[in-house]
Amino acid sequence: MEFEITSCGSYRDCIWAVRVQPVQSSPKVPAVDGNFTILLAKQIGVPESCIDSIDNWVDITPDDARYFKFFATVGEQLRLQISVTRIGSSGVSVKGRSLGTRPQLTC
């Protein structure tokens, strides 16, 4: 299906997302609360659930430089997670550990 970005937003300048909608009206694709939201980036220690706290959505129109169309296959909910791999002093690879300690942001 082809999608287009309809708005963008952030929360506390630590989590950023866009809302998208299908370009064509059919086939119908169910979405929670009628919106498809894509998490673009977040700071370390910020839970993904903070995306629900974004309330300052800015509309994006086709003449806006941030406007974008893309094709995607609709399926199950997916999440891409990039883990940091580092080698400890013992030579053992450690995945998914934070490289520093930061306080967890609560929404």
Band the pLDDT of 6: cuts 50, 70, 90: very high
Q: Tally Cβ neighbours within 10 Å of residue 46.
A: 19
Is the pLDDT reported for residue 99 higher than 50? no
Amino acid of residue 77: Q
pLDDT, residue 85, reads: 61
| Higher pLDDT, residue 60 or 76 | 60
CA gap 57, 7 in Å, rounded: 6
pTM comes to 0.65
> In the chain, which ranges are continuous DSSP H helix?
none
> Which residue matches tokens 């399926």?
75
pLDDT averaged over every residue in the chain: 78
Domain boundaries, the chain: 2-75
